Structure 1
Amino acid sequence: MSDAPSGSAGRLIHLLKLIATGPHVFSLGALAERAQLPASTVHRLLKELLVAGFVERGTGQLYRPGRELHRMASQLVARFDLVRSARPFLDDLVAKWRETAVLCAYSPVSRNAVIADTAATPHPLRFTVEVGGEISLAWGALGRAILAFLPPGEIEVVIREAKIGPLSGKPRSPRPQIEADLDQIRQQNYARYYDPENDIAGIASPIFGVNGEVLGCIGVTMPSNRYQRHLEDDLAIATREAGQEVSKLAAIAYS
């Protein structure tokens, strides 16, 4: 049970995440097994969640997510739905530039990005980009468009933990080169990536929340041979403008 967090608060949050992402109904034993915690500990924490309305009793010895948990989740989604807000901009990028458009959401807990939505290119030659896939922040336009705008401490952790590129299989660039690349991304407000060996390229721009925190990014990905058509800043500027417009919607939602 070494993977379970320590402390009551950490364990309570751990259980809430498992409840939110798990089956609609669950038993005490099943939740304890998923949480890698003793059943007695999970039973005690479930009592607290029952009182708060985050968990409710089901039939028999089963539990289910509570109405208070659903209510809070609905309120957050109603305030700002990143996928719904960004979808028109994904479609517009594909319509104008005929390349696959991708929306990524940043996860501060795991320090990576998750593909939240895509709009596919009409070209028959294209990459399969699956919703739910994880993006490493240390490589590629999508990852670095987020990495460049994280707090220095988080950037340090990401760079330190980055070892081998997920596509290239090569070690990461030297730190001075990474820092120079991130500085350029901050100045331009978009990131570029070009890897002809693996025939992939992309451009991405960050999406910010009301307080300037990075929420994710919006970008385009394509085979590297088509990247040559976009060496001018036309597509980069369009991607940056899309990121800025989604950021405005986020600022309005949370203001």
Structure 2
Amino acid sequence: MGIAPSTESLGTVQRVAEVLRFFSERGSATLKEMSQALSLAPSTCHRLCELLSRDGLIEKDEIDKKYKIGRELFRISALVNAKNDLRSLSIPFLEDLSNRCNETAVLSVFLPRDCKVFFAERADSTRMLRYQLPMNLPMSPLWGASGRSILAFLDSSDLDRALENEERAPASGERPPSRKSLEKQLAIIRDRGFDLTFGQKIVGAVGIAAPVFSANGKVVGSVCLTVPESRVNTRNQTKLGAMVQNSSAALSTALGFTNYSNPRRKAATS
């Protein structure tokens, strides 16, 4: 029988993960900024930074005295990214979708641990009017078609987790819906096979998204078109929705999913 890790060891691992996540999202910071952001003592931050610096996972800039992600972590991240089937597989599907409608196509990925989603890959349109997207930034799945099309196929417990954060819509400032109202909205998404939202994440943008499933039938992300409101009307909404569905179905098939022919499939657990 193996020896169970001590509480102290588990605590250190958790703090290391928090530090790496902090610098990955922040970019660079002083020990004071890190201490305040993570609610850790400056001495603890210094010890963790020294520990991670030994293996090149973070580095210290001797000029401004700020710590940042190290070259070894960049190398490890590149290896992981190169072997990440979902992200690498999505690129030709996004490019094809973008080319067919000349709009920006985006892959969003679901983070089960945090019940968040983030924009992972994109293929831009050639049009002058398009949007800058916050790539690789975890966000609530409550807002925007890219998140809601994922949320519609998650477990009931995930709905509770998404609602408990009470995050307002990033662009419109809307309050989260009630549980009953949310369930009705998600049922419509499952019945239609895709979601369509106006200005929830980005002012003036319409999101049209459909879910992506892995070989085991679990939703892992979504394919989304981000389109200026001026280019969306009642005539092309259904057409764009069908195009997004076809792309997400093709990507799901490439991941090994075999049941995308039924867009009205129920959520994993009611």
* TM-score > 0.5, shorter chain as reference: yes
How far 1:123 moved relative to its partner?
4.4
Aligned-pair RMSD on alpha carbons?
Answer: 4.0
CA separation of 1:18/1:175 partners in 2, compared to 1, >3 Å: closer, same or farther? closer
How far 1:179 moved relative to its partner?
0.4
Aligned match of 1:238 in 237, 240, 243? 243
Q: 2:24 touches 2:69 (CA, 8 Å); kept in 1?
A: no
Match of 1:10 in 2: 14
CA distance in 2: counterparts of 1:171 and 1:22, whole angstroms: 27
CA distance in 1: counterparts of 2:169 and 2:53, whole angstroms: 45
Aligned match of 1:129 in 122, 127, 132? 132
CA distance in 2: counterparts of 1:78 and 1:96, whole angstroms: 27
Match of 1:176 in 2: 180
Aligned match of 1:73 in 73, 77, 84? 77
CA distance in 2: counterparts of 1:58 and 1:23, whole angstroms: 12
Match of 2:234 in 1: 228
Match of 1:3 in 2: none
Counting only pairs closer than 5 Å after superposition, residues 193-208 of structure 1 correspond to structure 2 as: 193-194=197-198, 199-208=204-213
Normalized per residue, the structure richer in helix is: 1
TM-score by length of 2: 0.66
Stretches of structure 2 that go unaligned for 5 or more consecutive residues are 1-9, 258-270
* Paired amino acid for 1:242: S
How far 1:220 moved relative to its partner?
1.0
Aligned match of 1:186 in 186, 190, 195? 190
* 1:191-249 Cα distance to aligned partner (Å, 9 max, x none): 12256xx75433101223444443322111223452323243x3323212212333344
CA distance in 1: counterparts of 2:227 and 2:40, whole angstroms: 44
How far 1:57 moved relative to its partner?
8.9
SS across alignment from 1:130 = coil
* 1:152-201 Cα distance to aligned partner (Å, 9 max, x none): 22211212433643333343444323202212323444212256xx7543
CA separation of 1:185/1:65 partners in 2, compared to 1, >3 Å: closer, same or farther? same
CA separation of 1:55/1:72 partners in 2, compared to 1, >3 Å: closer, same or farther? closer
* 1:2-26 Cα distance to aligned partner (Å, 9 max, x none): xxxx9333213213334656769x9
* 1:111-154 Cα distance to aligned partner (Å, 9 max, x none): 43322333333445x44232426654212211201222233222
CA distance in 1: counterparts of 2:227 and 2:59, whole angstroms: 49
* Paired amino acid for 1:219: C
CA distance in 2: counterparts of 1:56 and 1:30, whole angstroms: 15
Matched, 1:139 2:143: yes
Match of 1:37 in 2: 40
CA distance in 1: counterparts of 2:132 and 2:23, whole angstroms: 28
Q: 1:202 touches 1:227 (CA, 8 Å); kept in 2?
A: no
Match of 2:267 in 1: none
Q: Indicate the percent of aligned positions where both proteins have the same amino acid.
A: 26
CA distance in 1: counterparts of 2:32 and 2:154, whole angstroms: 39
Match of 1:95 in 2: 99
How far 1:108 moved relative to its partner?
4.0
CA separation of 1:63/1:119 partners in 2, compared to 1, >3 Å: closer, same or farther? closer
CA separation of 1:28/1:203 partners in 2, compared to 1, >3 Å: closer, same or farther? closer
* Paired amino acid for 2:102: R
Q: 2:95 touches 2:123 (CA, 8 Å); kept in 1?
A: yes
TM-score by length of 1: 0.70
CA distance in 2: counterparts of 1:210 and 1:10, whole angstroms: 30
